[in-house]
A and B are shown apart, each in its own frame.
Chain A
Amino acid sequence: MEKKAEHNIKAYGSNFTTMTPGPFALKLRTCKIWQLIRFIIINIKMLIVVRKSH
């Protein structure tokens, strides 16, 4: 069984209160089609902030 991100949580350790991504969220991070869409969206968001800052 592949190790899941939540398996790294240590009960009552410093990382006990955090959230961890599930397999679907992790898959999306390197899914080329989804990331192409995100690429466009992130670029637009960044350009808006860049324009606001100049």
Chain B
Amino acid sequence: MARLVVLGGGVSGHTAATFAAKWLGSSHEVVVVTPNSKWNWIPSNIWVGVGGMSKEDVTFDLAPVYAKAGITYKQAKAVSINPEGSELSQKPFVSIEYTLAGREGESENVEYDYLINATGPKLNFGATPGLGDAKGLGEFTVSVCTADHAAHANEEFQKTIQKMKNGERQKFLIGTGHGLCTCQGAAFEYIFNIEHELNKAGVRDMADLKWISNESFLGDFGVGGLHMKSMGFAVSSKIFAESLFTERNVDWIIGAHVNKVEKGVVHYELLDGSMGEEEFDFSMLIPPFAGVGLKAYAKDGSDITSTVFAPNGFMKVDANYAAGAYENWKASDWPKTYQNPTYGNMFACGIAFAPPHPISKPMSSPNGTPIGPTPPRTGMPSGIIGKAVAHSICDRILKGEDAPLHEISMAHMGAACVASAGKGIFDGTAAAMTIYPVVPDFEKYPGTGRDVDYTFGEIGLAGHWIKHILHHLFIWKAKLKTGWTMIPE
């Protein structure tokens, strides 16, 4: 009997674990180690953050789902990996620390034959003074990265509405809280949902909305922007983004590294080296992401963390980490199998794998401060990669250790994204987009790096309907309800 241990029960790990349990059946064991008792459909946190949904609408208990799937569930967080075992144990193992009520802090070593690291991001609020610290979110800004954060954001948001109703003008500042953030899409959704809700509350004219981000141009989104087929043209996402911001009367600051947050004011440095300040009454700034800080030890107990993990804490996989300058980047730098190059029974998927380099061209200010988006790994690629990795491991368990690994690269994969711009069955809108491939391949698609026949986008009510349906569809799938395998990642 082989044992697969999956670290992290988020979008990628949950997909990997549930498919692996289905494919392996009861003759092998799948273990999930994840610190939360609930699964969260993170994209809908945006709606929780403006009061359009409750925390309960976007989360559900994991235990019954794993019980149904025959998955061993350990509500704990992984602390370290011993990929060679130890002097006391021949088998590789993960050291975990329970978060389950009643067993908090208890440690255990969980042996494995195969390991998937799907631990996602550490929300690194501590990277920017005032944005937060090692413990998490600070007191001056809000976040929508977790369901709890989003519920708190909504409480603060509702207070601003009350103030505006009482005649007090409010300044909203939404975007990224550091020069090396990713996930601009989430902040984009949040600012337009706020704008929509302010209109509904009849206080839009009392609010000044401003966007602040590390993108070098509006519409970069961490993927170097995209050209979409529209009206017979290949149109840059910059045009669409600037158009929407203008239409909704949202001002913007771009190329910004937020270097300090204080009560009611952020301090930032721009790509041209100048420094600025922006005041706010309400601010949601996405933190930068890092790996969750797992350690790795060799058999003799020596620290091999830097062998297994990149300096940013994400796990090394079969990517080309030596590509160097932007001019040398190739689509083939991106990983295909997500196998760790040192330990062949270890894989990483979703946000947890170390990308070879950003997708957007890296830039820095004349002061040497790097300012530019790090690469996003959104829901669809995270799910697809999780499933492909599970497939590879199941083949190796069922067909033998030489079974070929499944390959799926973000440079050959597309993504469908629906960015909400306001919730409402008849007055909501969302930008529905497809991008193919996610990582541009300038050799194959000269000029834009992407196939404009498969890269498109439009904003409207239909996009909102799709976003709403996807919310229910993905929660249905994650709960393993009838037909779940038919719903694509």
CB <8 Å contact, A49 and B434: yes
Q: Does B414 contact A (CB under 8 A)?
A: yes
Give bound CA distance, A52 to B414, whole Å.
7
Interface of B, helix, strand, loop or mixed by DSSP:
mixed
Q: Does B321 belong to the interface (CB within 8 Å)?
A: no
Contact assessment for A15 and B413 in the assembled complex, using a CB-CB cutoff below 8 Å: no
Contact with B along A32-54 (1 / 0, CB 8 A): 10011011001101101110111
Stretch of B75-83, B280-288, B364-372, B458-466 that contacts chain A: B458-466
Chain A, 1-25, CB within 8 A of any chain B CB: 5, 8-9, 14-15, 17-21
B461 contacts A54, CB within 8 Å?
A: no
User: How far apart are the CA atoms of A4 and B426 in the complex, in Å?
Assistant: 21
Judged by a CB distance under 8 angstroms, whether B249 is at the interface is yes
Closest residue of A by beta carbon distance from B247: A5
Contacts of B243 in A (CB 8 A): 18-21
Which residues does chain B contribute within 8 Å of A29, judged by CB atoms? 429, 459-461
* Among candidates A17, A28, A46, A49, residue contacting B460 with C-beta atoms closer than 8 Å: A28
Shortest beta-carbon distance from B315 to chain A in Å: 23
A54 touches B488 (CB 8 A): yes
- Tell me, rounded to whole Å, the shortest Cβ–Cβ distance linking A39 to chain B: 4
Q: Check B252–A14 contact: CB distance below 8 A.
A: yes
Is the C-beta of B239 less than 8 angstroms from some C-beta in chain A? yes
B462 contacts A38, CB within 8 Å?
yes
The answer on a CB contact under 8 Å between B436 and A52 is yes
Q: Which positions 410-442 of chain B face chain A at CB distance < 8 Å?
A: 412-416, 426-427, 429, 432, 434-436
Q: Determine whether B114 belongs to the interface, using a CB cutoff of 8 Å to chain A.
A: no
Of B408, B413, B432, B459, which contacts A46 at CB under 8 A?
B432
Majority secondary structure of chain A interface residues (helix, strand, loop or mixed):
helix
Residues on A with C-beta less than 8 A from B242 are 15, 17-18
Tell me the count of chain A residues lying within 8 A, CB to CB, of chain B: 30
A35 to B463: give the CA distance in the assembly, Å: 9
Residue among A15, A17, A32, A46 with max Cβ neighbours from chain B (10 Å): A46
B460 touching A53, Cβ below 8 Å: no
B459 touches A49 (CB 8 A): no
CA distance in complex: A28, B239 (Å): 19
Asked whether, in the complex, the Cβ of B462 is within 8 Å of the Cβ of A19, the reply is: no
Known contacts A49-B434, A52-B436, A53-B380; is-contact A38 B458 (Cβ 8 Å)? yes
User: A residues within 8 A CB of B416?
Assistant: 46, 49-50
Per-position binary interface string of chain B over residues 387-414, scored 1 when its CB falls under 8 Å from any chain A CB and 0 otherwise: 0000000000000000000001000111
**Does B456 reach chain A (CB closer than 8 Å)?**
yes
Specify which chain B residues have a CB less than 8 angstroms from the CB of A19 in the assembled complex.
239, 243
Query: How many Å lie between the Cα of A43 and that of B426 in the bound state?
Result: 18
Q: Which of A5, A32, A38, A53 contacts B415 (CB 8 A)?
A: A53
The 5 tightest CB contacts between A and B, nearest first, are A18-B242, A39-B462, A49-B414, A5-B247, A38-B462
Question: Residues on A close to B: CB < 8 A?
Answer: 5, 8-9, 14-15, 17-21, 26, 28-32, 35-36, 38-39, 42-43, 45-46, 48-50, 52-54
A–B pairs, 9, beta carbons within 8 Å = A18-B245, A20-B246, A29-B461, A30-B427, A39-B465, A39-B466, A46-B434, A46-B466, A53-B414
